[in-house]
Amino acid sequence: MIEFSVLGSGSKGNSTFLEINGHSFLFDCGLSCKQIELRLESIGKSPSSIDAIFLSHEHDDHIKSIHTFARRYKVPVITSEKTFKSGRLEEKKIKDAVFIKSGGFFSEFKGIDVFFMPISHDAADPVGFVVYSNGVKFALVTDLGYVTELVSHELKDCDALVVESNHDPELLKLSEKYPWELKQRIASRMGHLSNGDCARLLERTVSDKTRYVVLAHLSEENNNPDIALMSTARVVRGMNISIDVAKQGEPTPIYSIETV
């Protein structure tokens, strides 16, 4: 059995919980430690059950409480060495760090393989994650400026997919709060994925096998859940896929998939 919940997602912090056959993992640790504890408890999970934390890249909204959480619960951190160094992570606070290069696999826990999928983003060595276990494929990818051939190839036929749907390009263009440089950064090939690009990625990747799609890392300023859902709903029309939006302030429900 696989269970997952996006505990929180957006530019103020990201973390996703995944449980596979009794092992529990966090992907990114960008909410405060207190919030991760509270949100895990609110979905009936214990922070002390976490076996490992995977980090996608060194931006603060993905690593904010990694020192506190890893030390408090004595959890190993699995990430690339470049991310570890660029995020100024400290080995004395993180007892156990396992380095995996982007493009590599982590296969040390029984029955789970995690592919560190390279993505395009303005960080040292950013990745998305593709997790394989007992015939189930789960993927999590946010903070990518555009979809490479590799990304659309690797995300094919997932049972569950958490994917960035960051902004509506029109809202971003019209936004009065964001300075021009920030707009350029978000829209660039090293920035964040628009709703339209997310829909095109789903068009190329979802299949009859796919049960869940969760749209994530939505901009609070340049997007809203209805617009994001509308742009992707047409892709999954007629398919047996539940599509949802991850929120910044509260966890999604727990989604479950039976393993073979």
Give the binding site for Zn ion (CB under 5 A).
59, 61, 143
Residue 177 exposed, middle or buried by CB count within 10 Å (0-12, 13-18, 19+): exposed
* Minimum CB–partner distance for residue 37 and Zn ion (Å): 21
Rank residues 186 and 213 by Cβ distance to Zn ion and give the closer one.
186
Say if strands 105-106 and 97-99 run parallel, antiparallel, or are unpaired: unpaired
Whether 43 contacts 51, CB under 8 Å? no
Question: In this structure, what token pair is assigned to residue 172?
Answer: 């971003």
Rank residues 2 and 36 by Cβ distance to Zn ion and give the closer one.
36
* Minimum CB–partner distance for residue 121 and Zn ion (Å): 6
* Minimum CB–partner distance for residue 117 and Zn ion (Å): 15
* Minimum CB–partner distance for residue 49 and Zn ion (Å): 25
Rank residues 12 and 204 by Cβ distance to Zn ion and give the closer one.
12
Beta-carbon-side half-sphere exposure of residue 107 (alpha carbons within 13 Å): 5
Give me the sheet containing 212-216, strands edge to edge.
105-106, 113-118, 127-133, 136-141, 160-164, 212-216, 242-245
* Residues near 226 by beta carbon (within 8 Å), at least 6 away in sequence: none
* Minimum CB–partner distance for residue 46 and Zn ion (Å): 26
Rank residues 143 and 197 by Cβ distance to Zn ion and give the closer one.
143
Whether 19 contacts 3, CB under 8 Å? yes
* Minimum CB–partner distance for residue 63 and Zn ion (Å): 10
Rank residues 143 and 168 by Cβ distance to Zn ion and give the closer one.
143
- Opening angle at CA 36, ends 32 and 39, nearest 5: 130
* Residues near 220 by beta carbon (within 8 Å), at least 6 away in sequence: 10, 11, 248
In angstroms, the Cα distances linking 244 to 26, 203, 214 are 20, 16, 5
* Minimum CB–partner distance for residue 18 and Zn ion (Å): 18
